[in-house]
Amino acid sequence: MKYSGWPESGELAVGKIDEIEDFGVFVDLEEYEDKRGLCHISEVASGWIKNVRDHVNEGQTVVVKVLEIDEDAQQINLSIKDVNDHQRKEKIQEWKNEQKADNWMELAFGEDLADEQYAAVANELLADFGSLYDGFEAAAIHGTEALDETDLAEDEIDAIVETARENVSVPYVDVTGYVDLTCPDSDGVEIIKQALQAAEGDADALPDGADADADVPEEVELEVTYVGAPEYRIKVRAPDYKRAESELEASADRASAVVVEHGGTGQFHRERNEDEE
């Protein structure tokens, strides 16, 4: 996807050097339609430059800083030297991500996607998420819920979510906690089993009127395993630590609600209990 219009002063942009002169280099801006800028020799590299070709090559992809724009003269002044290594790497990664997202748009809506529909969908994602890539990543993590606030049609949302979940590599974090469960009831073993089912998200295992949320979001993986009576391990994988911690505690609360209903106790703790000597 290429933007119409002009970049803004101070913006970082990805470009390709298409012409080198003694006084500087001309750069095609890859992210903008029909926009080309000049990087004067003094802005190519720090210090005195004898030969521009010692520093850049034709066809080279560079990250430039937009210095000045004169729309009347159709002129954009650029700098290569004002971009540090961190900015360069970050911008190149952002650009590559947008190229991926551009391909995902084609996968989601087909090669014959009309320019008007592409622009309408892209503008919705840009408005809500700042970039196409971030929109697809949110759809991969949160599903259709992520796009509820957009004006996209239901079939468009479904297409984006399906494509995102097949193609986006989502970063995940893992957290672990423990819950101690005891139940003096004569059916204590069965009640503990019921508590573990509740911990894993089985709403039917919760007691009536329990103040505990049984829904485990689609983007969250949760597993409960036996450590040693009365201790059980809860492992949660989620897109971020805030969500992971929340789901971890919610799982322990569900298990505790079941045993407490039958006169037992449930205690959540982050570290595994050490055996007493």
Buried b (16+ CB within 10 A) or exposed e, 242-270: ebbbbbbbbbbbbbbbbbbbbebebebee
Euclidean distance between CA atoms 193 and 82, whole angstroms:
63
Give the pLDDT band (50/70/90) at residue 1: low
Q: What is the pLDDT of residue 209?
A: 63
DSSP 2-58: -B-S---TT-EEEEEEEEEETTEEEEEETTBTT-EEEEEGGGTSSS--S-GGGT--T
Q: Where does the pLDDT of residue 276 fall: very low under 50, low under 70, confident under 90, or very high at 90 and above?
A: very low
User: Residue 211's pLDDT is what?
Assistant: 58
What is the tens place of the pLDDT at every residue in 155-171? 999 999 999 989 988 77
Task: Give the span between the Cα atoms of 156 and 124, in whole angstroms.
Answer: 11
pLDDT at 271 over 80: yes
Cis preceding-peptide flag for 7 (omega within 30 of 0): no
* Structural contact between residues 45 and 55, judged by C-beta atoms closer than 8 angstroms: yes
Q: Give the residue-averaged pLDDT of 92-98.
A: 94
C-alpha to C-alpha distance for 72 and 82, rounded to whole angstroms:
25
Q: What is the pLDDT of residues 184-220, one digit of tens each?
A: 888 889 999 999 999 998 888 887 766 556 678 888 8
Q: Does the pLDDT of residue 277 top 60, yes or no?
A: no
- Residue whose structure tokens are 């009640």: 191
Residue ranges of alpha helices (H) inside the chain are: 85-109, 115-129, 132-142, 154-167, 188-199, 241-261
Asked whether the beta carbons of 63 and 14 are under 8 A apart, the reply is yes
Q: What is the rounded distance in angstroms from the CA atom of residue 164 to the CA atom of residue 152?
A: 15
The answer to whether 61 and 67 are in contact (CB under 8 A) is no
118-152 tens-digit pLDDT = 999 999 999 999 999 999 999 988 888 899 999 99
pLDDT at 115: 86
Is 52's pLDDT higher than 70?
yes
- Give the model confidence (pLDDT) of 7-51 as tens digits: 999 999 999 999 999 999 999 999 998 999 999 999 999 988 989
- Give percent of the chain above pLDDT 70: 96
pLDDT digits (tens, 9 = 90+) for 213-256: 667 888 889 999 999 889 999 999 988 888 899 999 999 999 99
Q: Note the pLDDT of residue 136.
A: 95
Alpha carbons 231 and 202: distance in angstroms, whole number: 20
Task: Specify the 3-state DSSP secondary structure of 87.
Answer: helix
Query: Are 74 and 34 contacting, i.e. CB atoms less than 8 angstroms apart?
Result: no
Asked if residue 65 has pLDDT above 80, the reply is yes
Count the residues in the chain.
277
